[in-house]
Each structure stands twice: as structure tokens, then as C-alpha cells.
Structure 1
């Protein structure tokens, strides 16, 4: 997959972008399927290093062998549409977070170095893109996913410039939060507003967790914005009442068209390493195992182990 090209899946290109065009969605899914399938399989393979008695070096080198093929081909270096550029961040996050799990066990160091150079080049392209991206997008979930992708890639090579940009971008999105924790950009999305608030929370939490290891505290200067943004989701998780009041529309998770799943709340495991809450532990237990390939796979394996 050397070139990635697809357009927006939304029928309305105005302020809300809340109605999906089935044909456009199918085209986007078809374009992304090879990449997303690869990321899912890679995360599942990387997660195997946590299994009792796992042959960690063998698993690590298998992950590296697969990624080295993409790096050698210069995959994803051409993003032929603005939509591809806007949405590649979540895929970079998935690649970086899968690789991050196996780096300590790798023996194919030359291939690993090539992969790091390839991912770093892709990350630096994101820095340039987001400085001229569409205004609304610069403050929303897509910027948050880009920040997470760059943070994960920064960890691989200890790149302080990439890490600084990831911290600034995470902070930038968090600091747009209203006093109640709602994200204004996501609240413009009509019946999909709560969906996109949750979609933003995932990278904001996991990026904050990665960055905390390097002395950053995204959102701290904005009246504990991370906790407020998370709190908004948790408070509205039952019926979406506050989001409905803000948007004037029943939210997709509460009108029968969508269902909240473990995938939507996968970020809880990382968040529980940043805070202590018996209520959140109970909530997480209801949905476990919590997993998302774009967050590196099984979050319990990654973050509960880190907290032990």
C-alpha cells in the first residue's frame, strides 16, 4: 500500500457532518481495509509477548519482519487526498503502539532501525500537515489521534521534537474543552456528537499516559481538562442526556442505531494508571477485555501490567 486515497464518508460537508453516505463509506472502508487488517493482526501478534512462557524474541522479530516489508517499500508515504492525511494518525498510532510492545525483545536491530526511520518520516509529515489543516479538524479527534501516533513513534527513537509536538497537540485539543468537559468541535456533530467525544477521548487518554512517562501532563494547565473530558463521557454514558441537551439531537448510541462496546471504552485501562477510582474499576470490569487495535490491542495486557 504505497498510496492511500479515499474521500470523506459523510453526505453532508457542512457544519455537522452527521449523515453518512453509504457509497462513500464503502469506498473508504475498501481503501482502508488492507491497512486496518494489517494493524489488527500486528497488534494481536505483538500482544502475544505477554503470554506466559512466550518466546518474546521470536514474536518481536516476526512483528519486525512484517513491518520491515512496509518500511522498505515506503508504504503510506503518498496520501493522495486530504481525508487520507486527516485520518492517517490513528493508523500511525496502531503501528507505533504495536511496535512499542516488542522493541525490548527484538534482535533484528538493523530492520528495527529502518522501521523507526520510516515511521519517523511519516510522523514528521504529520507535523507539517496539521499546521495547515482545516480549522475545525485542528481542534478535534483527528488531531488527537495524530498526536497519539506521533507520541508512540517518538517513544521508539526517543525523538524529543516529535514528543514535544505530540504533547503540545494533545494539550491544544484538551484545552478547547468547555467547563463541563465537552469538546466543542465534537459537539458540532449532531447525533454523532457523543460518538466523536468518545472517539477523541481514546487518543487523548493514551497519549497522556505515554507522555506522563516523560514529565508531561496534558490538560493540567486547563483546569484538569483530561479529567473533565473523561468525566463528560462517563456522566453521559447511560443516556447521553447532556450531549442531547447541547446538540438538540438524540445521540446515536441511544436511538438504537449504535451500541457502546468494549472498543469504545478501551482507553479505560490506560486512564486507570493515571487515577484511582473504584467506580471506574467496576465499569472496566463490566466491559473487559478492553481492546482496540489502534491503541495497540489488548489494553489490559499493556496497561494493567504497567501498573503492577
Structure 2
């Protein structure tokens, strides 16, 4: 009985020793994705490489790959029969159906996931097609400020109303003036009243260079739900997103959507001229977080049409 018990204990210890071997940490496993041929329509072959930088073997390795929503990938998952030795790599192929490219600038993101016994590692790759807009001014598509002597070009809210250039000037805001908010120094559009001065909807991607803890947006809402998503593209190819919103320019509290008041003016311009002096018409600041260790290269603006952006800056 004692011998049998000793054998059982020995087997238990051996089993415990086998199962106690640490798995490779995700940071020790690299997942790389080859370039995708975006000149569609075409079926492109993509190679996903899983490199084992750990001191442990990777066993039961399965790799999946996906592209933008709606793009078909075959197969969905590939398995690697043999364990990947420390310092070794495994390469698997996938086919992805690339549709006909859309006009304008786009960024496509591809993701590969390697799952193995005891862990998981993820790799992403972003590819660009087309040319982004050179700056925020190139994205301006709305007239938000007009002269009281000529309010006709204005249409900030879809009903032909706009901010008064005279009332903004009285508040110290003239073309090219600086506005300080949320720790950032922003430049008011350096354009004449009655010309396009803000970006409203469209989801345009613009070139923007900066670095800091947050991206500050100066703008206002022409509805009660002026909320959208901003995408930040860094110089190293990674990206992040953040939700941002502005209160209605006159009919919501300044703190709505987490915004803060930046400019307030009495009255507005209507198609018939200056009016509504008993109400305040306002511009706000809000922000989305940045990775402070990375340099911003591009910004994709919100696609919400009632969210108007006059300026951007980092803080």
C-alpha cells in the first residue's frame, strides 16, 4: 500500500510539474500581417506570421484574420499542427476579397489573432489609399458666421441662421484670433464672414501634426444630439478613437456631452437680419484622449452633420 501511494504521489508531482510550465506571454509573441493588395476588385493573398520570442513552445496554435466590415476572408481560421519552438515562426496564408476602391482617402485596418495554449496575441495593420485633406480648413463645408449687413450666406443650423461676426468681435473673436480652452490654444478660422468656416459631418480625414494628452475641438452643435466619433491616427500606424459632443448653440446647458463653454455672444443672424438678442449663442470646447508618447499624423472628423468643428489643437 505504501509503495502504491508513493507511485501515485510521484505521478501527481510529475503531472503538476508538466502543467505548471508557464505559457508564453502575449508580449513575447509577435503577429505580423503582410501588405494587402487594395487595387480591387481582386482576391488578395495575405500572409500572417506568428513569431515566438518566448522561452516556451507555442502549442495548439490557431490563427484568424479579418479585414474591414463586409470583406470576405477564407478560411476563417488556420491551425498549425506543430508547436512553434522558441525563436521560431509560423506563417499561414489567407485569401481576402478586396472590393473596388472607393473615391477619396480611406484607411483600412486588418487584424490577425493568434491563439495558443495558455495565451493569445493580436496584430493589426493599417493601409491607406487616396490622399487626406491637407488641413482642417480644407474640410470646411458650412458657413457659420456672417456679417450683420449680409446674413444670407449663413446656414449654421439648416434654417439659414448663423453667428454674428460683429458679436463675435465684441467677444474678442475675429478671423485668425486665438481662443484658449481646456489647456489648448486654438486658432479661430482665418476667413471672412459669409464664407465656409467649419466642418460639419462628412467624416473627413485631415492631416494634423501634434502630440499631447488630448485633442481639443472647438465647435458647437446645431441639434440636441451633436455627438460623434473622432479617430486619431499616429505616425507609427496605430490609431485610437474617442467620442466627442457639443451642446446646441443656444438650447442646452454648457456641460452637456462633457463640453465646456468657450465663447458666448448675444443674438444671432437670421435670413432677415440680426435678431434674438435675448438669447446667448455659444461655441464650446471638448476633447478626446491621446497617447502622449505618440505623434499624431491624421485625424478623422466626426460624421455627424450637426456637429460643427471650427478649430483643433493638442493640449
Larger radius of gyration: 2
TM range (shorter): under 0.3
User: What is the TM-score when the length of structure 2 is the normalising length?
Assistant: 0.23
Bigger helix share: 1
User: What is the TM-score when the length of structure 1 is the normalising length?
Assistant: 0.23
